[in-house]
Amino acid sequence: MHIIYYKTIISTLFFYFNVRLDAVLALAVVLCSVVLVANDDSGPRLKSDLERFPIERSSPFFVPVTVFNKQEIFCIDTGATATILDKVRFSQLLGKVQKEEIASGAVNMQRISLFRSPAMIVGQKAPIETGGGKGLIGGADLSAIRKSVDVDISGILGMDFLRTKVLRIDPDAGYIEFPNCPTNTSVQSQRLVLLENGLPSIRMQVADAGFRSFIIDTGFNGSLTLETELFSKLLKAKKIALRSRGTMDEIGGEAKFRRGIISQVTLGPYVLSNLNVDETSHNSIGLLFLERFVTEIDFSNRKLFLTASQFMNLPELRTLCGFSVTRVNRTAVINDAEDSARDAGIQNEDVIITINKTPAHKLSLSKIRILCTVPDSQLNLTLERDGKRFDVTLDLRRIPDPFPSVVSEENAIPSGK
């Protein structure tokens, strides 16, 4: 039997700014950990056809997947061991539940249903073989993820799909692909370890705390997470500057978390300073960390190839606007308003009509979040509350980096990028 690690989908989408789970914690926790069981022989296989899929900066990776004779959108998540289908959306097609497994999350326990895996095709020409229908696939309600990522996803492609593949992530060119073999072999590789639960991890030096293992998690929109003990140790040693404390709502409970800025981490020849870091139950690196590199992950041969991308020396995005944004019925809505936002007259559940004169419904959540974190700029909002519209202007002042940085100020993020 093969252990499946399924993140509670509401605890790993930690963006680079405050969003709690009900609002969905903007990115350091969009998938907690849940455990399932499935047949080890049911691992899907991707044929060698090369196909590229576009990606958006600071956004999860989405690919088209044909399932039940209809093309759907799936999220590629190296931080989940299992491929998951939305059991609510496909309730009439998945058939009978083959078994129920108790899944243990960071806060609570819940039941996960397992079904016979249907035939699936990634993109136009990459079938996923499912062992003649003998394999099992997880089913879960993905509505919370859809709300947080603002994409109508129907499933998650986990490590059972990826474990025999090479995944190339190119933020400079704006695409991901599955080449037949690594193309970056002239670069010294880093050793990739597949943990017992099947998740990929690497060793990275953390400030002065030595080397630690980090899960590579493309389902996490932030930079870094640290387990509580390590977070506390570095905070006490003044290697983490605390930014905020709070709680995030999870299915069946509430979890406390801390958010800060870490002094330095080292991965191979690369030294990075002043990264956002969140406290969770495990160490992981997410999309905002990976976008600093053109990355090739050779899962079969346990190798990771990295070269610097154009985003290598950009300062981390911080919470400058004092609120977070989510979608409610396709409408951009403010939540988690902090004192600075409330002082400007902004309240939770205010509807965003325009941002810098652009209608909010024409902007992706990723674009909105980036516009809300452009340092040393003005953010002009038209909001609606109780049927009345009003304008608000915020000055987005840069949050100073607390530690001496290897990042050059001349590489500051340009407005609107």
**216 and 280 inside one domain:** yes
Q: Is residue 178 part of a domain?
A: no
CA-to-CA distance for 19 and 216, rounded, in angstroms?
22
Q: Is residue 414 part of a domain?
A: no
**213 and 290 inside one domain:** yes
pLDDT in tens, 68-108: 999 999 999 998 888 889 999 999 999 999 988 765 443 34
Eight-class DSSP state of 111: E
CA-to-CA distance for 387 and 385, rounded, in angstroms?
5
pLDDT in tens, 331-374: 899 987 888 888 999 999 999 999 999 999 999 887 888 888 88
Closest by CA to 367, choosing from 325, 336, 412, is: 325
CA angle 192, 198, 200 (to 5 degrees): 30
Give the domain CATH number at 292: 2.40.70.10
Highest mean pLDDT among 5-14, 111-120, 168-177, 405-414: 168-177
Tokens 């999860």 sit on residue: 60
**297 and 333 inside one domain:** no
The pLDDT score that the predictor gives to residue 354 is 97
**32 and 58 inside one domain:** yes
**What's the chain's average pLDDT?**
80
CA-to-CA distance for 276 and 211, rounded, in angstroms?
19
**38 and 111 inside one domain:** yes
**53 and 119 inside one domain:** yes
**50 and 147 inside one domain:** yes
Q: Per the structure, how many domains does the chain have?
A: 3
Is 309 within 8 Å of 289 (Cβ atoms)? Answer: no
Q: Is residue 408 part of a domain?
A: no
For the ranges 123-137, 208-222, 319-333, which has the lowest average pLDDT? 123-137
Domain containing residue 43: 2-169
Closest by CA to 286, choosing from 14, 52, 11, is: 14
For the ranges 35-39, 178-182, 208-212, which has the lowest average pLDDT? 35-39
The pLDDT score that the predictor gives to residue 9 is 38
Is 357 within 8 Å of 410 (Cβ atoms)? Answer: no
CA-to-CA distance for 71 and 63, rounded, in angstroms?
10
Is 13 within 8 Å of 29 (Cβ atoms)? Answer: yes
Secondary-structure percent of the chain, ordered helix, strand, coil, rounded to 5: 10, 45, 45
Q: Is residue 318 part of a domain?
A: no
Q: Is residue 401 part of a domain?
A: no
Q: 41 in helix, strand or coil? A: helix
CA-to-CA distance for 175 and 165, rounded, in angstroms?
16
Residue type, 348: N
* pTM greater than 0.85 (yes/no): no
CA-to-CA distance for 190 and 202, rounded, in angstroms?
8
CA-to-CA distance for 77 and 355, rounded, in angstroms?
31
Q: Is residue 402 part of a domain?
A: no
